[in-house]
Every structure is written in C-alpha cells, then in structure tokens.
Amino acid sequence: MEPQQGDDKSSGPAPSLWPVGFAIGLVCLLVGLIVSWWAVAIGGAIALIFGVVWVHDLSSSSAEGVEPPEPPTKEDLAAHPGLAAAADTERYPRDKFLEGATLGLGLVIGGLVTIPPLGMLTASSFEGQQFHHVNLGPLADFPLNTFIITTFIEDVEAGEVSRRTAYIRNNGFLDKLPSLTVLSNRCAHLGCPVQPNGPVDDTKTKKTTSENGREVVIKTPAQPAGFGCPCHGGQYDTEGNRVAGPPVRALDRYTYSIVKGNVVLGSAFSVAKVEGTGKDAKIKKTRLHNPGQHVDGPEFWLWPIPEIRA
C-alpha cells in the first residue's frame, strides 16, 4: 500500500519555547552589563538552563521514532567482518555527539565573547589612581565668602603632571565647624577645565611650599558669578550646579578636613545636584564618575558600568 499524502511526518523538531527562554536570558545578561552584576548572573543562569534544555530537546526529537537497529548475530559477523566495527561506532550515537559538540562550541563562543569585556570591567575597578591627601595650608588663607582658585600637586612623585585645580570658598561655621565648598574644575561634560565667570585678583596670588619643598600650592582670590567651560559652553552656578550647556551633572567636589588649623583635601566625589547654598547646601553625592557619565535619572540606568577614577 502506497503512503497517502499527509502520512509522511516531518523529521524536524516540534515547536518549542526553549529558544525564547534562551533569548530572554541573553537579553538579561547583556542588559546586566549596563545595569547590575546581579542581572548578569540571573541572565547567564537563564540562558544556560534554557540552552541546555533546548539542545537536549533537539537531540531527543531527532532520535524520536527511530527504532534502534538489531545487533548483528554471530553468523552476520562471520559473514561480514565490517559489521563489528559498525557495531562499535553505534556505542557513540550521532545525536549525542552533536549535543556535546553544540554545548562545547557554545561554551567556547560564550567564553570568548564574555570573558574579555568582563575582565576589563573587573580590572577597571583596580586601575583607579589613589588620591593623596594634600595639605593646602592654613584656613586663614581662605577668607569668608570668597572663592580661592587653588592649584596643587596631587602626587608628589608624579610632579607637575598631577597638578589639579579646585575652587574653594569658606562658608563660615556650621555646628562650630568650618564649612568649605570645594569644587573641582573638571567639567562634567568631557573633563575640560572650567573657568570662573568673574574677576580674578592675580595681584593677591599666594604660593605655599610644603615642608619637603616639592609641593607648591597657589591661591588666587576670585569673585565669580558662576563657572564656565571654554571648550563646549557648559555653565555652572556658584554651587557647581549645571545651568546650561552639555554637562550631564554638577561639578565634582572634594572632601576635606581641618587638621591643626590647615585645610587638608581628601578624595573627590561626584555630585548629581546641590540644593541650597553655602553651609546650608544639601549635596546629592555619589562615588566618583568619569566626565559625561550620568549619576541619577533614567540615563544612569542606560549608561555602561562606570570606570572609577580618582
């Protein structure tokens, strides 16, 4: 009897949802590289589980309905010696080989794709330069309500290449402790040096040399109405808040302490925005980010994992 049309079933695998789960896992993994390491771990686990089940399902479907051949008898082996070798090869079915090869190739490709960028992202957290605390001299050099353009060498061993600039204003006392506003001059757009928008009194510049004779701190009074970036037009108010142009956040700031009457700078940190002014300012601070990187809002979640630099 001839087979009727429609009796011939397709040898292809049946429709499956495993590829959908595998794709969702990959999406979670890629998004996790931007958002969070937890999402990377969850996405990787989902992709691995669904990938293994998918490959196993494919191999099972390919073998489904195929009856295993009967082993050759002794008479067959005597008449046809080549059947012995064929029987040995059947111990390693093709579907099992394809399953193992597919999984192995997938692991190799996944490793080649993910390990290098993950390694660079992990290494970046150890590459940041360590900030060296800097003694800027006596608090008396920073008069009340006046910005002092202060340049200093961050790393004595590196020399002039590590010279930095900060805009420092003495806000008076807060809870019996001196309050200072210490703004970095690094633009939050691309890192260009911002300048004071106002008069600078170069005639009152003061230089302070450290005890070892190598650190030179230069202090110049200024009365800016704000700060501006000469590169791309970014504008900031006297609290460092962005008011115009392409910067994505406020100016970075430095921590500080008063040690034996001297102003000592600590490490830098990034600022989303500042509410209020002077000693009454409320600073929304975060860890130090590179220029151009958002630190809050929806853009922050769509930005790659930041490389931290001191």
- Residue 170's pLDDT is what? 95
Strands (E), the chain: 134-138, 147-153, 163-174, 177-184, 195-196, 206-209, 216-222, 227-228, 235-236, 242-244, 253-259, 262-275, 282-286
* Last residue within a domain, chosen from 105, 127, 149: 127
Clarify whether residues 143 and 211 are in a common domain.
yes
Clarify whether residues 208 and 175 are in a common domain.
yes
Query: In the chain, how many domains are there?
Result: 2
Clarify whether residues 172 and 189 are in a common domain.
yes
Clarify whether residues 272 and 222 are in a common domain.
yes
Q: How far apart are CA 257 and CA 239, in angstroms?
A: 19
**69 located within any domain:** no
Clarify whether residues 165 and 27 are in a common domain.
no
Clarify whether residues 60 and 160 are in a common domain.
no
**pLDDT one digit per residue (tens) for the chain, 310 residues:** 444 544 444 455 556 677 777 778 777 777 776 666 777 788 888 888 888 887 777 666 655 555 556 666 666 656 666 555 555 555 556 666 666 777 677 677 766 666 666 665 555 444 444 567 888 889 999 999 999 999 988 877 777 888 899 999 999 998 888 999 999 999 999 999 999 999 999 899 988 876 656 677 889 999 999 999 999 999 999 999 999 999 999 999 999 999 988 999 998 999 999 999 988 999 998 988 889 888 877 766 665 544 444 4
Clarify whether residues 108 and 195 are in a common domain.
no
CB 283 within 8 A of CB 276: no
**100 located within any domain:** yes
Scan for tokens 């800016």, then name that residue: 224
Clarify whether residues 110 and 142 are in a common domain.
no
Could you tell me the residue range of the domain that residue 208 belongs to? Answer: 134-301
Clarify whether residues 277 and 184 are in a common domain.
yes
Cβ neighbours of residue 178 closer than 8 Å, sequence gap 6 or more: 139, 170, 172, 258
Clarify whether residues 184 and 261 are in a common domain.
yes
CB 218 within 8 A of CB 206: yes
**307 located within any domain:** no
Clarify whether residues 80 and 32 are in a common domain.
yes
Maximum CA extent, the chain: 113
- Residue 229's pLDDT is what? 95
**43 located within any domain:** yes
Clarify whether residues 115 and 166 are in a common domain.
no
* Last residue within a domain, chosen from 111, 127, 143: 127
- Residue 180's pLDDT is what? 95
**80 located within any domain:** yes
